[in-house]
């Protein structure tokens, strides 16, 4: 695996979305590539910071209902 492919897989790896084969390939690459190790650690740290600072807002019920109605209309 090259660094470009590893960087593509890193986001999915952080989110736990890799299949086992991809995970093993990425792990092998990271074991041998200090540059990608640093990049991967920085990406993980960034995700933690974002998760800590994100503010979740519940959508108003009338908005939810409106979207559901619109979806039903466009899907038929």
The DSSP line for 23-64 is HHHHHHHHHH-HHHHHHHHHHHHHHHHHHHH----PPPHHHH
- 2 Cβ contact list (under 8 Å, min separation 6): none
The pLDDT score that the predictor gives to residue 76 is 52
What three-state secondary structure class fits 21?
helix
- The reported pLDDT for the residue numbered 51 is 85
pTM given for the model: 0.67
Q: Domain-by-domain residue ranges, the chain?
A: 3-74
> What is the per-residue pLDDT across 19-66, written as a single tens digit (0 to 9) for each?
999 999 999 999 999 999 999 999 999 999 988 888 888 999 999 999
Query: How far is Cα 59 from Cα 13, in angstroms, rounded to an integer?
Result: 30
How far is Cα 32 from Cα 64, in angstroms, rounded to an integer?
Answer: 48
């Amino acid at each position: 695996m090259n660094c470009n492919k590893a960087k593509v897989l890193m986001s999915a790896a952080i989110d736990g979305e890799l299949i086992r084969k991809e995970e093993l390939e990425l792990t092998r690459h990271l074991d041998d590539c200090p540059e990608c190790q640093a990049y991967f650690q920085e990406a993980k740290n960034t995700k933690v910071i974002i998760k800590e600072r994100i503010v979740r807002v519940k959508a108003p019920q009338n908005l939810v209902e409106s979207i559901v109605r619109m979806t039903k209309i466009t899907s038929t």
